[in-house]
Amino acid sequence: MQYRVKTNQHSFMDFKSFGLDERLLKAIAKLGWAKPTIIQKDAIPIVIAGKDVIIKAFTGSGKTAIFLIPIIQKLLNDKEIHSTDSKIRALILVPSKDLSNQIYENLKKLTYSCSDEINFVQLNNKMNMNYPYNNNDIIISTPSSILSLLDENKISISFIEMLVVDEADLLLSFGYGGDFRQLTKYIPRTCQTILISATLNKDIKFLKNMMPNDPLIIKLKDSNLPPQTQLSQYVIRCDEDEEKFTLCYILLKLKLLRGKTIFFVNTIDRGYKLKLYLELFGIKCCLLNSELPLLSRCHIMNQFNEGLYDYVIAADESLRQINTSNKAKSLKSFAKDKEFRASRGLDFQRISNVVNFDFPKTVKSYIHRVGRTARADNNGTALSLIKDEECEIFKKVEKYLNPKNSTFNILEPIIKTFNVPIKQLDGFRYRSTDAYKSITRILIKEARFKEIKTEILNNEKLKIFFHNNPHDFAVLRHDNALNIKNSLVKSQVASHLKHIPDYLIPNAFKELTPNYSSTLNNLAHKKNNEKLPKYKKQKMVDPLKSFKF
């Protein structure tokens, strides 16, 4: 049986219409969720009713709340009848430690008003075998972590009533198929099963066959991405790799990209090259990749979500690239987390822009990357920088987003071309060339060694200190410059590239760029406290929607 949700319909119902407990409604209100998303509106009542379901929806559509809200509601109802009953009632399986942490944090927020009644625990590789796991209502775990406890008879899931498999397609791609099959032997057949996925592929069919009952399939109609009225997609064609770096410099320095932005790259080396390049111009950013420890990744993400910095570079390298990359042969000794996947499973919040600095290798990866913005009812922009060798996969993405290939779709493509007059920006190109050439492979290698060594020392030596001093942990920043000992980086370039003279900005850009650009530059060179002239307020315009030549 299949149940479809129409993307063009969104009634003005709120969470009260689900008949939720007042304590749960209070937590939802504190989170600022005014109304359920389209998929939540149709899926939550079905899950509360106890039906087995497979839910397919794009990243950022609110899938996590679809199973957390019904679980909490069911536990609160049962607690009124069996207040002293203590046993595991719900099991949430995830493919990665990053996603496990995020669900754990979401549970803490949703149980804000009933934390004394609902207990939950997150399993990891450093588990305490003597911990009373069976006294918890909810268990969050990867299949391998809970299976090790089951084999040791340290935990029992024979009484669970709800089984959730989040990011189910990733679960099998990370190699948990055998573990999941073994887990089904411990799970009662009367248990309600909820599979959450961004895709419906053959792996999901494999998991569906293990479900005792015929599940409902709930999915958003037609597109895996938000509508065009909510998500604007653009592409800029580049003749060479250096042009990509120059465009990023221009977009950020002229404030043409406003708000929190994710830059996706395909390899770790590319991530460090872009980070070092941007630092030369005084643009602070942080880098997420599989070499960083889990706690560091979570800390970086939390600070980014809290608004401590606006730009993050995510190395969305595939497993095949990790194992076969020729550029990183000398760095094979570094341990990479194979569960890490930047385009999925990470809870980036309030993202205004997604920039595909390197175009993804597959259509699916493009969907997941772009789905990081325009989440819930917010608007967002996706910008892709492509070279000639990336045009083939780009055409596949276009074909996927325009399956009918009608005349209307050809005249009004979903991904619009954004023409940048690069000849008018030669002043920026001259500045960019020296910076681009200064980031050598040796410099990238040194940066990787330095950051990994720093992270290891921080995690091992300061763990107890940060546990006792949470404020110091909060102020620790991950967007600091790498400070590599390079004369060109430290003196010849970085000292003057942080500021943009007015003569470099074309008139067409000045119409879109407010006067604060030159004001900030002048302010940096002032040695006294002279008051700057007050500029008239100008209406802010979205450059990617109004910039024409």
Task: List helix spans (H) across 335-406.
Answer: 363-370, 391-401
Lowest-confidence pick of 225-239, 313-327, 503-517: 313-327
Q: pLDDT at residue 525 above 60?
A: no
Q: pLDDT at residue 19 above 50?
A: yes
C-alpha to C-alpha distance for 139 and 158, rounded to whole angstroms: 13
Residue with tokens 């599979």: 195
The residue ranking higher by pLDDT, 365 or 204, is 365
Q: 231-497: which CATH number, 1.10.1050.10, 3.40.50.300, 3.40.920.10, 3.30.160.40?
A: 3.40.50.300
Neighbours of 378 (CB within 10 A): 15
The residue ranking higher by pLDDT, 86 or 309, is 309
pLDDT in tens, 49-74: 999 999 887 666 788 999 999 999 99
Length reported for the chain? 549
Q: What is the pLDDT of residue 215?
A: 87
Per-residue pLDDT band at 516 (split at 50, 70, 90): very low
Residue with tokens 């064609």: 237
Lowest-confidence pick of 171-180, 264-273, 517-526: 517-526
- CATH number of the structural domain 2-220: 3.40.50.300
Per-residue pLDDT band at 361 (split at 50, 70, 90): very high
Torsion over CA: 454, 459, 461, 467 (sign): positive
Q: What is the pLDDT of residue 429?
A: 83
pTM score of the predicted model:
0.67
pLDDT in tens, 287-305: 988 887 777 777 788 888 8
Phi, psi of 218 (to 5 degrees): -110, 120
Cα angle 300, 305, 310 (rounded to 5 degrees) comes to: 85
Q: Do 223 and 533 form a contact (C-beta atoms < 8 A)? A: no
Per-residue pLDDT band at 357 (split at 50, 70, 90): very high
Average pLDDT, the chain: 77
What are the angstrom distances between the C-alpha of 545 and each of 243, 246, 512? 22, 21, 11
β partners of residue 354: 262, 382
C-alpha to C-alpha distance for 48 and 392, rounded to whole angstroms: 45
Domain chopping of the chain, boundaries: 2-220, 231-497, 502-546
DSSP 306: T
pLDDT in tens, 419-441: 777 677 777 888 888 889 989 99
What are the angstrom distances between the C-alpha of 213 and each of 161, 325, 487? 14, 44, 67
Q: By three-state DSSP, how is residue 121 classified?
A: strand
β partners of residue 216: 53
pLDDT in tens, 227-268: 788 899 999 999 899 999 999 998 898 888 889 999 999 999
Per-residue pLDDT band at 515 (split at 50, 70, 90): very low
Mean pLDDT within 352-378: 87
**How far is C-alpha 10 from the geometric centre of its chain's CA atoms?**
25
Neighbours of 173 (CB within 10 A): 14
Q: Which long-range contacts (CB under 8 A, 24 or more apart) does 28-35 make?
A: 28/69, 28/110, 30/109, 30/112, 31/109, 31/110, 33/65
Q: What is the pLDDT of residue 381?
A: 93
Q: Which two tokens stand for residue 281?
A: 């111009």
Q: Do 465 and 291 form a contact (C-beta atoms < 8 A)? A: no
Q: What is the pLDDT of residue 282?
A: 87
Task: List helix spans (H) across 12-115.
Answer: 22-31, 38-48, 63-81, 97-110
Q: Do 304 and 260 form a contact (C-beta atoms < 8 A)? A: yes
Fold agreement (2-220, 231-497): yes
C-alpha to C-alpha distance for 364 and 198, rounded to whole angstroms: 9
